[in-house]
Structure formats: structure tokens, C-alpha cells
């Protein structure tokens, strides 16, 4: 066994080279000034102060709002789907999960482009509306389009997290609940729901974190004026060329993400404590 | 059997490896959809070389990549970026004696202010910026009377695209207010900023990238601020659309081929530039891309009888309006404008 341990070394070198070093560079950029030259820099906190500007704070709040709504919608839509799949026959479960993950085999960029042609004026959806004699709707470049793109892209993460927990749920607990006189609703609310909370919480992590920092979906479906924090960072690096400010925003973002991860982990712990640690664990 | 197969594959790999070593490699970095890709193969066959062809969608993106140390043999930046690269010592002087096809270009398009004597750059495509409009839904009188200010006309609310580029957006506002695009006067920049914010509120334009081409062809909006080259292509695909350049003035731009200092195949890079100046190659490119060619023969063929851009108003940018300006490179101005443009969009 000891010999195998050294196999991990290349991985550690790889990780430190391609993950740790770039992150350290971001920290360095965030706290320094004078362009992209690493030779002549001096330390400063200006990049962080610059962010505390009503315009940028508004962008941050908007990103959090969009991510939050996306997460809530994913739970509302994802939970029933996960529940139905978990209660289907073994054979159809495999098929249904395959159907849920199937779109994820295609690049997210391509799928988002597909939504453009569906939602655009004179696109697929509007042609359909026209065909059945309804007035066309303005769908592209609206909150609705961005929301739709977000929920569509991140929903599978939520469904699979919840499904994994529900599928492992001990059916005896449900039978016991029925035997003791609980009706289906009571059984769901008092047995299934609390036990499935760990799945919901990991679903929240998997949806909220990418949703809060995404920039492709708002850019494509919302247009250039739909600016979220991810777009702001991309802008700083690519268009403006302000790597220092961009890095500072990234760090602020990383801080928020870390804080929300700690919060969800705490929720996860509380949830398992409440259910006496017998809940279906995700992993 | 398996062993034979594996050794055959290995042998092939080794052989192809050798072949790859002998062939010279030219690395070209150009705008997306800015070439008829068949000419790349033609060039490869002609000189028995391999071309690595990469795309970018903004001068800034290209600059960021160059700055991070990536090397290319050929770049095609816009005038103000050429000026910047010259100032920052990224370019090497061209050997004009190696460019036998240089005489194929309009002399008027050589020796421009950003690179007098064409020491570093050779024109690739050029054009200006204007408004693409739908003839059926937009009153031409509105365009003629209001010029750029038509973008602030509530009548066209939710019906406008603006190409998402800080300097071009500011150009629109500066010209609407009668200022120079190279003005560093703070009050003038502030006024342009206020106007852009006002337009943003009044007509809620969509700031968009290259998808503007498909979206305009399918008539999703009625007005679009875009480059003349995009307009020429869009009009050639949909005859309901036309192009209008306000009298108040616009930006005249030129994308030029340059060779960076750290290029590895300098001689081959010259051959590439000369190949692009060839009449047939230039014709193929301009037909495919829709941007205005600086090549005399290609320009005359596509605008002549039966040509692909015959009568296409956007393909022939005006050269006679004294209000039209070329962007000068100014780092401080650029920084102010990009910051303010972010603020307009983030409203």
C-alpha cells in the first residue's frame, strides 16, 4: 500500500501548479497596483475600495438575487421530479435519470445558443404562438429569458442531488408511518421531507454557487446590459484590461461563495441533527 | 494481429511526426469569421506549410493574449490598437520589398495617420460605423432629421441593438453632441456619458456582440448600430434592410495586418500578407466576409455589375465627410471610457 501513496505526488504537483499558483496570482493582483506587469507593483487596497460603488454593489445584489431565485425555482421544480423518479420502477429510474443528464452531454454554450433561436422574436416559440393565433411575446433579452436559461442549465444538479437521497431512503420508515396511521401527506411532511433535506442542501450548493458567478447565460440571453458579477469580472479582464480590479472582484466573490458554503454546511449539520442522523446521506 | 496494428500505428505516428517537423508553421490570430477559410488551405498548399489559425472577437482580447506572452506571426488589429502596439514596442517593421502585391491596394488607404509610410501595418479591411435600419418599419426622415439622436427617440424604444464596444458607443454619443471622438475634455466625456445613460433609459437598447448579424437578418429589431462590413453582409442577406451613416460624423476604422516582434516565421508572415493582397484571394475574402476590401480589383468586382455587393450602400464607406474621424490611441481616455461604459450597462 505504501508504494501507492507516492502515486499521488504528480497529482499534488499538478494541483499546485494549475490551481494553487493561479489563485495566488489572483490574490497578488487584487492587492497590488500598476497594470499587468509583475515587476513593478506596489501593495494597495484601492481595488477593493473601488468596488464599493453603488453601481457595482447593485450588480452584486442583482447577481445574488438572480442566483437565489434560480435556486428556489430549481427546488420547486426539481423536488417533485426527483420524487417521481425515486418512486418509479427500478428500470424506468435508470432511464429517467439518463434523460435528465442527457442534455448535459452537450456543451452548455451550444444549449444556450439553442435557447436564443427558441426565444427570439420570430423564433420557434413565437412562430408557434403566431400559428395558434396568439400575439407574439417579447422573450429574448428579458429577466424571463435569463431565468429560464439558468434554471434549465442548473436544474439537473438539483434533481440528481435530491434523487440520490430519496432513492436511498429506507422504505420501511414510510411503511411504519402508514402503519401508525399517518396519511400520505403527513408521511411526506414528517418523514420523507426531513430525511431528504441533505439532498436539497447539496442541491442548493451545486446550483447557487455556479449560478451566482455565471456570465455566459446572462450575456447570451440577457444582452450586454444584463450585467451580473461574472460579466463584470470578465469585462475587467478582457475588455477593460484592469486585471487588478478584476482580481479584487473575484476575491470578493470567492469570499461570498465561501461564506454561503459554510452557511449551507451548517444547515446540513442542523438538518441531520434534527433527524437524529438517520437521514439518507448523499455520498 | 493486434501487435501488427499497434506497431503500424506507432510507425505512422513517428512518420507523421517527422513530416510535421519539416513543415513550417505560421500562427495567425484574426477576428472571427474574417476570412474565407479556403484561402488558408490554398496558402498551405502553395508554400507547403501548416497554418494555425485562431480567432478573437475584440482588440482587447487579442491584446490581453499577446500581453500574456502568447506568440503569433500575424495579427489583424484595428488602427488604434496598431498605434498602441507600435507605442508599446510590440511590432517589427515590415520589409515592403517582399510585398509584391502592395500595388493592388488603393493608394488612398495607405499611409494613414496611425502608421505613416506603412512601416508596420498593411490594410486588410476597412469601413465605418452606422445604423442598420429596417426600411419597412423605420421612417428614413427620422434618421435624416435626428441622426444619431434617433437612438434616443422613444418611438423606437425596445427596437434597437447597439454593438457592445465602449469606444464605439461613446463615439455615437460624442458625434451626436458634436464633439470629437478623440476629445479628452472631461466635460465633453461626461456629457456623452450622460447621453448614453439617457438613451439607455429612454429606448432600452440591447448591447450585443456578433449575434447582431443573425438577429438583424431575421429582423428581430428595427435599428442597429454596427460596422459597415456587418451591414453590407446583412443587407446582402435581407433586402428590407438598409444602412445610414449620420452627417454628424462617424468613426472610420481600418483593420491591418502586422507582424509582432516575437514572431518566429517572419519571412513566411510576409508571404501571408502578400498572399492576402492578391486580387483573387482578396476577392474571395471580401465576398465571404462582406467587409470593404482595400484591394482595387476586388472592390471593383464586387461593386460592379453583377457583383455580390453591387448597389450595397454599406459596402462603400464615404471618404468625404470632414466630421468622420479615426480613433487615436490614448490609454487614459480608453480607461475612462471603458469604466463609464461599464456603468452605463450596469444601470
Residues B30, B289: Cα–Cα separation, whole Å: 13
The predicted pLDDT at position A274 comes to 63
- In terms of CA atoms, which chain B residue is nearest residue A57? B346
- How many other β-carbons are positioned within 10 Å of the β-carbon of residue B267? 11
Nearest CA to A192 out of A36, A62, A86 is that of A86
Of the partner residues B63, B166, B215, the one whose CB lies closest to the CB of residue A120 = B215
Residue A116 lies in a domain: yes
Quote the distance between the C-alpha of residue B330 and its chain's center.
19
Of the partner residues A121, A232, A242, the one whose CB lies closest to the CB of residue B220 = A121
> Within an 8 Å CB–CB cutoff, is residue B166 touching chain A?
yes
Residues B347, B345: Cα–Cα separation, whole Å: 6
Backbone dihedral angles phi then psi of residue B91, each to the nearest 5 degrees: -110, 155
The predicted pLDDT at position A243 comes to 86
Residues B216, B290: Cα–Cα separation, whole Å: 15
What CATH number is associated with residue A206?
1.10.3720.10
Q: What is the DSSP letter of B138?
A: S
- Helix B166-176 and helix B186-202, axial crossing angle in degrees, nearest 10: 100
> Within an 8 Å CB–CB cutoff, is residue B215 touching chain A?
yes
Residue A22 lies in a domain: no
Question: How close B55 gets to chain A, by Cα (Å)?
Answer: 14
Residue A223 lies in a domain: yes
Residues A21, A190: Cα–Cα separation, whole Å: 48
By three-state DSSP, how is residue A212 classified? helix
Q: Which domain holds residue A99?
A: 53-274
The predicted pLDDT at position A37 comes to 54
Pick among A140, A219, A241, A244 to test the B interface (most B CBs inside 10 A):
A241
By three-state DSSP, how is residue B295 classified? strand
- In terms of CA atoms, which chain A residue is nearest residue B333? A240
Question: How close B338 gets to chain A, by Cα (Å)?
Answer: 6
In B121-151, which positions are buried (b, 16+ CB within 10 angstroms) versus exposed (e)? Answer: bbbbbbbbbbbbbbeeebeeebbeebbbbbb
Nearest CA to A203 out of A251, A143, A268, A146 is that of A268
Residues A231, B340: Cα–Cα separation, whole Å: 15
Report chain A residues whose CB lies below 8 A from the CB of B60. Answer: 238-241
The predicted pLDDT at position A280 comes to 45
Residue A237 lies in a domain: yes
Asked if the model's pLDDT at residue A162 lies above 60, the reply is yes
Instruction: Give the pLDDT mean for A11-29.
Output: 89
Q: pLDDT for B126-152, tens place per residue?
A: 999 999 999 999 999 999 999 999 999
Taking an 8 Å cut-off on Cβ atoms, the answer to whether B206 and A224 are in contact is: yes
Q: Are B326 and B113 in contact (CB under 8 A)?
A: yes
Residues B85, B263: Cα–Cα separation, whole Å: 14
Taking an 8 Å cut-off on Cβ atoms, the answer to whether A224 and B335 are in contact is: no
The predicted pLDDT at position B190 comes to 97
Give the C-alpha distances (Å, rounded to integers) separating B7 from A260, B18, B20: 55, 16, 20
Domains of chain B: 21-126+254-303 (3.40.190.10), 127-252+318-345 (3.40.190.10)
Q: pLDDT for A163-196, tens place per residue?
A: 999 999 988 998 999 899 999 899 999 999 999 9
Cell match 507582424: residue? B259
Spans in chain B with pLDDT lower than 70: 1-21
Residues B114, B86: Cα–Cα separation, whole Å: 9
The predicted pLDDT at position A279 comes to 45
Taking an 8 Å cut-off on Cβ atoms, the answer to whether A241 and B64 are in contact is: yes
Report chain B residues whose CB lies below 8 A from the CB of A232. Answer: 342, 346
Pick among A240, A242, A245, A247 to test the B interface (most B CBs inside 10 A):
A240
Element (H, E) at B135: none
Question: How close A264 gets to chain B, by Cα (Å)?
Answer: 30
Q: Are A267 and A201 in contact (CB under 8 A)?
A: yes
* The C-alpha cell that represents B221 in the structure block: 429589431
Residues B222, A133: Cα–Cα separation, whole Å: 23
Under the banding of pLDDT at 50, 70 and 90, the label for residue A48 is: very high
The predicted pLDDT at position A275 comes to 58
Report chain A residues whose CB lies below 8 A from the CB of B158. Answer: 138
Report chain A residues whose CB lies below 8 A from the CB of B223. Answer: none
By three-state DSSP, how is residue A277 classified? coil
Taking an 8 Å cut-off on Cβ atoms, the answer to whether A240 and B158 are in contact is: no
Residue A34 lies in a domain: no
Q: Are A164 and A108 in contact (CB under 8 A)?
A: no
Question: How close B67 gets to chain A, by Cα (Å)?
Answer: 8
> Within an 8 Å CB–CB cutoff, is residue B63 touching chain A?
yes
Residues B54, B67: Cα–Cα separation, whole Å: 16
> Within an 8 Å CB–CB cutoff, is residue B335 touching chain A?
yes
Taking an 8 Å cut-off on Cβ atoms, the answer to whether A224 and B200 are in contact is: no
Give the C-alpha distances (Å, rounded to integers) separating B346 from A4, A110, B113, B150: 53, 26, 35, 22
Q: What is the DSSP letter of B259?
A: -
> Within an 8 Å CB–CB cutoff, is residue B113 touching chain A?
no
The pTM of the full predicted model, rounded to 2 decimals, is: 0.86
Q: pLDDT for A66-88, tens place per residue?
A: 999 999 999 999 999 999 999 99
Taking an 8 Å cut-off on Cβ atoms, the answer to whether A240 and B338 are in contact is: yes
Of the partner residues A225, A227, A238, the one whose CB lies closest to the CB of residue B61 = A238
Question: How close B159 gets to chain A, by Cα (Å)?
Answer: 11
Residue A281 lies in a domain: no
The predicted pLDDT at position A277 comes to 46
Residue A23 lies in a domain: no
Of the partner residues A122, A237, A238, the one whose CB lies closest to the CB of residue B220 = A122
By three-state DSSP, how is residue B24 classified? strand
Residue A112 lies in a domain: yes
Of the partner residues A36, A122, A224, the one whose CB lies closest to the CB of residue B345 = A224
Residues B78, A1: Cα–Cα separation, whole Å: 60
| B141 Cβ contact list (under 8 Å, min separation 6) | none
* The C-alpha cell that represents B12 in the structure block: 505512422
Report chain A residues whose CB lies below 8 A from the CB of B347. Answer: 55, 225
- In terms of CA atoms, which chain A residue is nearest residue B58? A239
Question: How close B146 gets to chain A, by Cα (Å)?
Answer: 24
Structurally, chain A folds into a number of domains equal to: 1
Q: pLDDT for A232-267, tens place per residue?
A: 998 888 878 788 899 999 999 999 888 988 888 888
- Helix A108-119 and helix A124-131, axial crossing angle in degrees, nearest 10: 30
Mean pLDDT of chain A: 88
Under the banding of pLDDT at 50, 70 and 90, the label for residue A38 is: low
By three-state DSSP, how is residue B316 classified? coil
Residues A230, A215: Cα–Cα separation, whole Å: 5
Strands (E), chain A: none
Report chain A residues whose CB lies below 8 A from the CB of B218. Answer: 120, 122
The predicted pLDDT at position A58 comes to 93
Long-range Cβ contact pairs of A79-84 (< 8 A, separation 24 or more): A79/A158, A79/A162, A79/A200, A81/A159, A82/A158, A82/A159, A82/A160, A82/A162, A82/A163, A82/A166, A82/A199, A83/A162, A83/A166, A83/A192
Asked if the model's pLDDT at residue A94 lies above 80, the reply is yes
Pick among A130, A141, A233, A237 to test the B interface (most B CBs inside 10 A):
A141
The predicted pLDDT at position A283 comes to 45
Q: pLDDT for A128-151, tens place per residue?
A: 998 999 888 888 899 999 999 999
Amino acid at each position: 500500500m505504501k508504494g501507492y501513496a507516492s502515486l499521488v505526488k504528480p497529482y499534488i504537483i499538478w494541483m499546485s501548479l494549475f490551481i494553487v499558483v493561479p489563485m495566488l496570482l489572483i490574490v497578488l493582483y487584487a492587492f497590488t497596483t500598476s497594470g499587468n506587469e509583475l515587476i513593478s507593483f506596489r501593495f494597495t487596497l484601492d481595488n477593493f475600495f473601488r468596488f464599493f460603488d453603488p453601481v457595482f454593489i447593485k450588480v452584486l445584489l442583482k447577481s445574488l438575487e438572480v442566483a437565489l431565485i434560480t435556486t428556489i425555482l430549481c427546488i420547486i421544480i426539481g423536488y417533485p421530479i426527483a420524487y417521481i423518479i425515486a418512486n418509479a420502477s427500478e428500470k424506468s429510474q435508470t432511464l429517467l435519470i439518463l434523460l435528465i443528464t442527457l442534455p448535459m452531454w452537450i456543451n452548455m454554450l451550444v444549449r444556450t445558443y439553442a435557447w436564443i433561436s427558441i426565444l427570439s422574436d420570430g423564433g420557434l416559440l413565437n412562430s408557434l404562438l403566431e400559428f395558434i393565433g396568439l400575439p407574439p411575446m417579447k422573450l429574448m433579452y428579458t429577466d424571463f429569458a435569463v431565468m429560464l436559461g439558468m434554471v434549465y442549465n442548473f436544474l439537473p444538479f438539483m434533481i440528481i442531488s435530491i434523487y440520490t437521497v430519496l432513492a436511498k431512503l429506507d422504505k420501511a420508515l414510510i411503511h411504519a408511518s402508514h402503519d401508525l396511521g399517518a396519511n400520505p401527506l403527513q408521511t411526506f411532511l414528517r418523514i420523507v421531507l426531513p430525511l431528504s433535506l441533505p439532498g436539497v442542501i447539496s442541491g442548493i450548493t451545486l446550483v447557487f454557487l455556479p449560478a451566482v458567478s455565471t456570465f455566459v447565460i446572462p450575456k447570451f440571453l440577457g444582452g450586454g446590459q444584463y450585467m451580473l458579477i461574472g460579466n463584470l469580472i470578465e469585462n475587467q479582464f478582457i475588455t477593460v484590461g484592469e486585471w487588478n480590479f478584476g482580481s479584487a472582484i473575484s476575491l470578493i466573490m470567492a469570499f461570498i461563495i465561501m461564506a454561503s458554503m459554510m452557511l449551507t454546511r451548517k444547515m446540513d449539520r442542523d438538518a441531520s441533527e434534527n433527524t437524529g442522523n438517520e437521514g439518507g446521506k448523499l455520498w | 494481429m493486434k501487435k501488427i496494428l499497434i506497431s503500424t500505428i506507432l510507425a505512422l505516428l513517428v512518420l507523421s511526426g517527422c513530416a510535421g517537423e519539416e513543415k513550417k508553421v505560421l500562427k495567425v490570430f484574426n477576428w472571427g469569421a474574417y476570412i474565407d477559410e479556403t484561402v488558408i488551405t490554398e496558402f498551405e498548399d502553395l508554400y507547403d506549410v501548416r497554418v494555425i489559425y485562431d480567432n478573437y472577437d475584440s482588440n482587447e482580447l487579442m491584446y490581453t493574449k499577446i500581453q500574456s506572452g502568447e506568440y503569433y506571426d500575424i495579427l489583424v488589429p484595428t488602427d488604434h490598437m496598431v498605434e498602441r502596439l507600435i507605442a508599446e514596442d510590440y511590432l517589427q517593421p515590415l520589409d515592403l520589398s517582399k510585398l509584391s502585391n502592395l500595388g493592388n491596394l488603393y493608394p488612398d488607404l495607405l499611409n494613414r495617420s496611425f502608421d505613416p509610410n506603412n512601416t508596420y501595418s498593411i490594410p486588410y479591411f476597412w469601413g465605418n460605423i452606422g445604423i442598420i435600419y429596417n426600411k419597412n418599419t423605420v421612417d428614413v426622415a427620422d434618421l435624416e432629421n435626428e441622426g444619431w439622436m434617433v437612438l434616443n427617440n422613444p418611438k423606437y424604444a425596445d427596437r434597437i441593438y447597439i454593438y457592445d464596444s465602449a469606444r464605439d458607443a461613446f463615439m455615437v454619443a460624442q458625434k451626436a453632441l458634436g464633439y470629437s471622438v478623440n476629445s479628452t475634455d472631461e466635460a465633453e466625456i461626461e456629457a456623452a456619458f450622460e447621453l448614453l445613460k439617457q438613451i439607455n433609459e429612454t429606448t432600452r437598447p440591447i448591447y450585443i456582440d456578433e449575434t447582431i448579424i443573425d438577429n438583424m437578418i431575421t429582423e428581430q429589431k428595427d435599428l442597429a448600430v454596427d460596422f459597415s462590413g456587418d451591414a453590407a453582409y446583412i443587407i446582402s442577406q435581407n433586402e428590407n434592410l438598409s444602412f445610414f451613416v449620420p452627417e454628424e460624423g462617424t468613426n472610420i476604422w481600418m483593420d491591418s495586418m502586422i507582424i509582432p516582434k516575437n514572431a518566429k516565421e517572419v519571412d513566411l508572415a510576409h508571404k501571408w500578407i502578400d498572399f492576402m493582397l492578391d486580387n483573387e484571394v482578396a476577392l474571395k475574402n471580401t465576398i465571404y466576409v462582406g467587409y470593404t476590401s482595400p484591394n482595387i480589383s476586388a472592390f471593383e468586382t464586387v461593386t460592379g455589375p453583377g457583383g455580390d455587393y453591387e448597389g450595397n450602400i454599406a459596402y462603400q464607406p464615404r471618404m468625404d465627410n470632414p466630421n468622420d474621424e479615426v480613433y487615436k490611441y490614448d490609454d487614459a481616455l480608453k480607461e475612462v471610457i471603458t469604466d463609464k461604459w461599464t456603468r452605463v450597462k450596469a444601470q
